[in-house]
Amino acid sequence: MRLRLNINGETREADGVWEGESLLYVLRERLGFPGSKNACEQGECGSCSVYLDGVLVCSCLVLAGQAEGREVVTVEGIAEGEELHPVQRAFVEAGGVQCGFCTPGLIVATHDLLGRNPDPTDAEIREALAGNLCRCTGYEKILDAVRLAAERMS
Amino acid sequence: MEFHSPDSWREALEVKAAQPEAVAIFGGTDVMVDLNFDRERPGAVLDLTRVPELGEWGEGDGRLRVGAGVTYTRIISELGSELPGLAMASRTVGSPQIRNRGTVGGNLGTASPAGDALPPLYVSDAEVELASTNGTRRVPVVEFITGPKRNAMRPDELIAAFHIPRAEGPQQYAKIGTRNAMVIAVCAFGLALRPERKRVGACLGSAAPTPVRAREAEEFIESVLDWDSRGEIGDTELRRFGELVGEAASPISDVRGTAAYRTHAVGVLARRTLGWAWDEYRRGE
Ligand SMILES: Cc1cc2nc3c(=O)[nH]c(=O)nc-3n(C[C@H](O)[C@H](O)[C@H](O)COP(=O)(O)OP(=O)(O)OC[C@H]3O[C@@H](n4cnc5c(N)ncnc54)[C@H](O)[C@@H]3O)c2cc1C
Ligand code: FES
Ligand code: FES
């Protein structure tokens, strides 16, 4: 089938989409947005997190056709222009990135958190990022990064 | 694979009537896992996310009708005071990403013994509204869930909503898992106090092939609670309540926990949640 959706502010079309594939697959394999990572395909790791009509979701759990005509924002759409978004900069500076595989999902999830709650407590940060797994950092630096981003954005 | 994405309920029911084998999908948090892992390859998929009615809820004569497509996130933010037990259970589901997509309708459709939305529906005697092109019917949730991953929905039917009374008193939900997020319950327990009727609803999750009401435990504690003067519950009574809840379990042993652990743990949850709910009642909240 043919799919038409808005990604990071631009209309995109994909042809020959199989009805059973996920939005994640469409993004990565058909439309050239490899920022969202594919690690588990079962909603467990959060590395595929994107906004769907402004709501944080795992794109591996969205059926392609469910995104028809909808607005998707991926990690590629978080920054404006060439400058890193403050959330991205904070992750780099605080050492929240090691292998980087989990990073795109965490950036989008942190962006979502700070949009709703600009000054989160540690407990709220942990709760908001509970669906994003990282196998490298041990999470401490990620928490530092979120706190740093919150500070700078407020 | 055929893909249908009707934007009206009428049309959705017509698709289901014409193709009863079509698999409904809402949040996709169960369906997509099966598709991604090739556990299922349905001939047709019926997307319900464009049917506006499914995302609506409303209230009439003290009962709420909540559309099958209301997500956990919305239950927490919009229905926390009307349905505190269900909101507590919703908070334990998955992660923000899962709660933003997953629905109670999907939890009913999956009918897992570990479904976190189910015990709160059981303790409030909720009803499931099923619809087909032939009309609608309401089925009490205890009759709707017929076995592990089995329910009473006919192939031409869809879940429209559930009907549930607004909380009549304190409610609780507690769940045991290896971490505070993203866990399928080892066991869980839902509780509702209905002080005006002097009734208690108690339901075990993940401790039997389906959620189960602990009727003996309910009757026992209803008779010993000091409803009018709101006196403390004795330790012996609390313990007995926990034991009777444990006796209602018929758990299995699996990777998440042994049968013996589940029986013990669900009794502990019962005792604790009753203590919390009763304290809330005593404080007059
Ligand atoms: C990472 C992860 C964590 C999870 N954690 C939990 C948890 O902690 N607790 C828990 O209980 N569950 C959990 N789940 C399971 C799942 O999120 C829930 O069962 C959820 O309620 C499913 O809702 P959904 O809208 O996503 O359903 P879908 O996947 O869209 O559908 C589920 C089933 O219901 C049917 N269905 C859906 N809507 C309708 C309708 N209106 N009419 C008829 N049939 C319908 C579908 O055909 C399918 O059989 C988790 C899942 C994932 C991936
Ligand atoms: S790939 Fe989607 S949650 Fe892991
Ligand atoms: S940095 Fe490697 S998984 Fe998080």
CATH code, domain with B156: 3.30.465.10
Structure tokens at A53: 């009509």
pLDDT of residue A151: 97
Whether residue B242 is found in the same domain as residue B150: no
Cβ distance of A63 and B28 shorter than 8 Å: yes
Give the single-character DSSP code of A117: -
Longest C-alpha distance within chain B, in Å? 63
**Has residue A107 got a pLDDT over 90?**
yes
β-strand partners of B171? B192
Helix (H) or strand (E) holding A98: none
3-state class (DSSP) for residue A77: helix
Whether residue B180 is found in the same domain as residue B220: yes
- Residues B258, B262, B266, CA angle at the centre, nearest 5°? 175
Cβ atoms of B99 and B93 within 8 Å: the answer is yes
The pLDDT tens digits of the residues spanning B4-16 come to 999 999 999 999 9
Q: Which of B164, B188, B217 is the last residue of a domain?
A: B164
Q: Which of B129, B164, B199 is the last residue of a domain?
A: B164
pLDDT of residue B179: 85
The residue of chain B with its CA nearest to that of A46 is: B97
Alpha-carbon dihedral sign for residues B120, A56, A70, A4: negative
CATH code, domain with B227: 3.30.390.50
Structure tokens at B34: 């099966």
Task: Identify the structural domains of chain A with CATH numbers, from first to last.
Answer: 3-78 (3.10.20.30), 86-153 (1.10.150.120)
The percentage of chain B sitting over the pLDDT mark of 70, rounded to a whole number, equals 100
> If you measure from the C-alpha of residue B33 to the centroid of ligand 2, how many angstroms do you get, rounded to a whole number?
10
The pLDDT tens digits of the residues spanning B35-79 come to 999 998 999 999 999 999 999 999 988 799 999 999 999 999 999
Whether residue B7 is found in the same domain as residue B129: yes
- ipTM, 2 decimals? 0.98
Which residue from B1, B3, B100 is facing A57, i.e. has the nearest CB? B100
- Residue from A91, A110, A134, A140 whose mutation best tests the ligand 3 pocket (most atoms within 8 A of CB): A134
Q: What number does the ligand 3 atom closest to the CA of A100 have?
A: 1
The pLDDT tens digits of the residues spanning B130-173 come to 999 999 999 999 999 999 999 999 999 999 999 999 999 999 99
β-strand partners of B66? B57, B162
Q: Closest approach of chain B CAs to the CA of A81, in angstroms?
A: 27
Cβ distance of A127 and B35 shorter than 8 Å: no
Tally of structural domains, chain B: 2
Q: Which of B164, B192, B220 is the last residue of a domain?
A: B164
Structure tokens at B72: 């956990």
Domain that holds residue B247: 171-282
Residues A103-132: what's their mean pLDDT?
98
Structure tokens at B101: 């997509």
Whether residue B8 is found in the same domain as residue B109: yes
pLDDT of residue B285: 64
Structure tokens at A12: 């995109």
Place B252 in a pLDDT band, splitting at 50, 70 and 90: confident
The pLDDT tens digits of the residues spanning B80-111 come to 999 999 999 999 999 999 999 999 999 999 99
pLDDT of residue A81: 87
The pLDDT tens digits of the residues spanning A17-60 come to 999 999 999 999 999 999 999 999 999 999 999 999 999 999 99
Whether residue B180 is found in the same domain as residue B151: no
pLDDT of residue B284: 87
Torsion of CA A143, A148, A153, A154, to 10 degrees: 90
Whether residue B48 is found in the same domain as residue B158: yes
Is A134 a pocket residue for ligand 3 (Cβ < 6 Å)? yes
Whether residue B185 is found in the same domain as residue B206: yes
Judging by beta carbons within 10 Å of its beta carbon (0-12, 13-18, 19+), is residue B146 exposed, middle or buried? middle
Whether residue B159 is found in the same domain as residue B207: no
Closest-CA residue to A87 (of A120, A54, A42): A120
Whether residue B154 is found in the same domain as residue B259: no
**Has residue B219 got a pLDDT over 70?**
yes
Alpha-carbon dihedral sign for residues A81, A83, A87, A91: positive
Structure tokens at A115: 């949009």
Q: What is the mean pLDDT of chain B?
A: 96
Whether residue B241 is found in the same domain as residue B200: yes
Which residue from A19, A55, A109 is facing B2, i.e. has the nearest CB? A19
Q: Which residues contact B126 (CB under 8 A, 6 or more apart)?
A: B140, B141, B162, B163, B164
Whether residue B183 is found in the same domain as residue B160: no
Q: What number does the ligand 2 atom closest to the CA of A43 have?
A: 3
Whether residue B153 is found in the same domain as residue B276: no
> If you measure from the C-alpha of residue B41 to the centroid of ligand 2, how many angstroms do you get, rounded to a whole number?
20
